[in-house]
Amino acid sequence: MIKKMILEAKNIRPSREGFEVAGIFNPAVIRCGKETIMLARVAESAVQNDPDYFLVPVASAQGTIEIVRLPKNDPAYDYSDKRLVRNCQHTYLTSISHLRVARSMDGEHFVFDESGIILPGGIYERFGIEDPRITKIGSTYYVTFTAVSECGINVGLMATKDFRHFRRLGNILHSDNKDCVIFPKKIGGKYLALHRPSTSEFGKLDIWTAESPNLIDWGNHKIMTSARIDYLPCSRVGAGAVPMATAKGWLVVYHSADAANRYHLTAMLLDKNDPNIVLMRSKHPLVEPTETYEKKGFVDQVVFTCGLVADADQLCIYYGVCDQNIAMCTIPIRDVWDNMEAIGA
Amino acid sequence: MIKKMILEAKNIRPSREGFEVAGIFNPAVIRCGKETIMLARVAESAVQNDPDYFLVPVASAQGTIEIVRLPKNDPAYDYSDKRLVRNCQHTYLTSISHLRVARSMDGEHFVFDESGIILPGGIYERFGIEDPRITKIGSTYYVTFTAVSECGINVGLMATKDFRHFRRLGNILHSDNKDCVIFPKKIGGKYLALHRPSTSEFGKLDIWTAESPNLIDWGNHKIMTSARIDYLPCSRVGAGAVPMATAKGWLVVYHSADAANRYHLTAMLLDKNDPNIVLMRSKHPLVEPTETYEKKGFVDQVVFTCGLVADADQLCIYYGVCDQNIAMCTIPIRDVWDNMEAIGA
């Protein structure tokens, strides 16, 4: 396996004055002919230039970004988590994420489209849009994403044919839910998705499937695989890259985090005709934080994928590292299969 | 307004030996010709006859009820909430709910069908099925209900034509969600529902709308009304009875609970063509816990409706009291309207 960091937050230009880029990470990636197109999550925070107030960026209904000023020395505000500010009524994010389009001819060096910026807007995206996944169906690219706001964490859908014009198609899954990926074709006459509801009291952070006749309306929600407690002590799992059709079934690369929030990427093989059935899983993690840039950053020990590209003999996995930068790794397909074992084996 | 208690847990026969009825409450109700049909939630707990173990009933995949034995004196188990038993891994319910069919010719005296018992079964219903609502569409009665299990709190759907044979149609909304009611006809070419997701960090316990082409698959989730903080200090709201078509729009009776978990019922009027728009709301609570049987019970201060019947000049609201018994009240329609005020008034 070859790993390398390919995009760093420190080299990314903020979208506006008074802002700085806190991270570029968790990119969706799709191969379009000879080009590799990336939709990267860019998290920006306000430059903190007020001695008394902490500045929190929030998207307005009109599509502009406004600053909410929170008193720094008010004990009602909890600043202990650098990603969040809480008081007893509200939770804010310290940064706001948008999506940016980039293109590459070699899959490694990406150039950003000048006008390719998708900003959050409207009440479901007040705190940003995050973690996109791209699925091509027919001639349309469908992008699932996480929409964060005072309305919770919803899964939104947008569609594009050219990565220039994006059409919002509403919340396809209600709060709280994230890590939604849509399969690239109908199975048994229905579209299928993986998703990850957040449950409050009874459930665990598991991967679910849902079906849809039209990509907009989803039902028949089923739990798919439990949080790998049989495999590695783990607090949550979530779908990663869009499922990939292989001769053996659907190959899905997904993430798992342990109780200390150390992430790794792993793979599972789903039945071709009923992806609710897991046939095989990785014996050992596929990608773990081993490099310094995977271990230390805005959030330590995070490797998180939203997209991969498959060549004839290797997988090229793109992943966010430490909620800050983007890395990629290439793994021979043979190694991925050699690392799989049948469920129950 | 006339209130009366009509069904009491102490008079209800348990579904099996070794069980006792902890509550009959939160009934769905629908008028079918001259008959009023009720689908009541019956919560049963195991008779506690073991000095060392607390017995928790759990539905099996085969449709039987099994007993899980939890050590009473193990400090790993938290018995402080009489509805729940928790350890660091799991939450169990102390009772398990099923649904029971009852019929009445006067809307007040109900007789249970001998065979009209819908038991929980399968992995999404391990801890029971709760809080049904009945919507008639065409010649079919659709019943939404809350399915509780280690997979979280999901919204299930079943269909019946005769209240004898019920067909499960899967989870229509993923965990955690409850209080789902389906409108009795299509609006703008789509079916519509109200639902109440539970959000973990960012959201509040608000009422949402969703759309569907087929009652099975739901999308375009939108938040509808915030948790009435403008009206009465309140920690959550949730849809109650199935929306009722009136000349002025859709009338919805729903519940609201304050920070101390004291419930009341209240009403809102939704736009006829776009029920996401709230036109009017009750000025004062419609039903509050005033009677002893509404104030004291298994859970104090709870009035919770899942169904009403409208006559020409009055509403007959059926509601669970204190998660234990069933009451009904009749309110002149005129009083309901007199108590409404326009939003922003």
A173 CB neighbours in chain B (<8 A) are 174, 221
Q: Does B105 touch chain A (CB under 8 A)?
A: no
Long-range CB pairs of A243-249 (<8 Å, 24+ gap) are: A243/A181, A243/A183, A243/A184, A243/A194, A243/A270, A243/A275, A244/A308, A244/A310, A245/A184, A245/A185, A245/A272, A248/A272, A248/A279, A248/A280, A249/A275, A249/A279
Interface test with A, best of B175, B178, B191 (most A CBs within 10 A): B175
B171/A222 CB distance under 8 A: yes
Distance between CA atoms of residues A152 and A125, nearest Å: 9
Q: Do B218 and A222 touch (CB under 8 A)?
A: no
Contacts A211 to B, Cβ<8 Å: 217
Closest CA to B179 of B118, B224, B213: B224
How far is the CA of A248 from the CAs of A65, A244, A278, B280, in angstroms?
A: 47, 11, 12, 57
Q: Which residue of A has its CA nearest to B168?
A: A220
Closest listed residue to residue A241, CA positions, set A29, A37, A40, A33 = A29
Is pLDDT above 50 for B210? yes
Check if the beta carbon of residue B252 is closer than 8 Å to that of residue B270: yes
Cα A68 to Cα A54: distance, rounded to the nearest angstrom: 8
Asked if B154's CB is within 8 angstroms of A219's CB, the reply is no
DSSP string, B174-222: PSSEEEEEE-SS-BTTBEEEEEEE--SSS--B-EEEEEESSSSSBEEEE
Interval B150-154 mean pLDDT:
94
Interface residue A142 vs chain B (CB under 8 A): no
**Distance, CA of B64 to CA of B94 (rounded, Å):** 17
Contacts of A148 in chain B (CB under 8 A): 202
Q: Where are the domains of chain A?
A: 2-342
Task: Give the dihedral sign, CA A123/A129/A133/A138.
Answer: positive
Judged against a pLDDT cut of 60, whether residue A339 lies above it is answered with yes
* Cross-chain Cβ contact B171/A213 below 8 Å: no
What is residue A217's predicted lDDT score, i.e. its pLDDT?
A: 98
Structure tokens at B335: 């009083």
CATH number of B2-342: 2.115.10.20
Nearest to B200 among A172, A173, A200 (CB): A200
| Average of per-residue pLDDT across B90-109 | 97
Comparing CB atoms, the residue among A197, A200, A216 nearest residue B219 is A216
Taking alpha carbons only, the member of B303, B294, B284 closest to residue B232 is: B284
| Interchain pair A217, B214: CB under 8 A | yes
**Cβ pair B202:A170 closer than 8 A:** no
Q: What ranges make up the beta strands (E) of A183-261?
A: 191-197, 207-212, 219-225, 236-239, 244-246, 249-257
Per-residue pLDDT at A61 = 77
The whole-number pLDDT of residue A228 equals 54
Q: Quick: pLDDT tens for B7-63.
A: 999 999 999 999 999 999 999 999 999 999 999 999 999 999 999 999 999 998 777
A58 forms beta bridges with A66
Q: Quick check: B156 contacting A, CB < 8 Å?
A: no
Residue that the structure tokens 């499960």 belong to? B168
Distance (Å, whole) CA A157 – CA A209 = 16
Count of CB contacts below 8 A, A vs B? 141
CB contact under 8 A, B221 and A153: no
Using the Cβ of A153 and the Cβ atoms of chain B, whether some distance falls under 8 Å is answered with yes
With H, G, I as helix, E, B as strand and everything else as coil, classify residue A336: helix
Average pLDDT on B181-202 reads 94
User: Residue A148's beta-bridge partner residues?
Assistant: A128, A153
Is it the case that residue B230 has pLDDT exceeding 60?
no
d(CA B187, CA B276): 11
Residue predicted with more confidence, B234 or A208: A208
Report residue A87 as tokens: 């008081």
Residue with tokens 């993923």: B174
Any CB–CB contact under 8 A between A332 and chain B?
no
Chain B touched by A199 (CB under 8 Å): yes
Non-local (6+) Cβ contacts of B28 within 8 A are B38, B39, B40, B132, B133, B134, B143, B306, B307
CA distance linking residue A31 with residue A92, whole number of Å: 35
Q: Is B218 on the interface with A (CB under 8 A)?
A: yes
CA torsion, points B270, B272, B274, B276, in degrees to nearest 10? 10
| Residue B200 pLDDT | 73
Q: Are B70 and B53 in contact (CB under 8 A)?
A: yes
d(CA A125, CA A103): 25
Sign of torsion over alpha carbons A235, A241, A245, A251: negative
Put simply, the answer to whether B151 touches A223 (Cβ < 8 Å) is: yes
pLDDT at A229 over 50: no
Spell out the alpha helix ranges (H) of chain A: 292-295, 333-338
Q: Does B233 touch chain A (CB under 8 A)?
A: no
pLDDT band at B91 (very low <50, low <70, confident <90, very high): very high
What is the amino acid identity at position B3?
Answer: K
Q: Which two tokens stand for residue A296?
A: 């230390």
For tokens 């102490």, name the residue. B10
Q: Give the pLDDT confidence score for residue B231 in this predicted structure.
A: 56
On the 0-12 / 13-18 / 19+ scale of CB atoms within 10 A, B337 is middle
In this prediction, residues A140-163 reach a mean pLDDT of: 97
pLDDT, averaged across chain A = 94
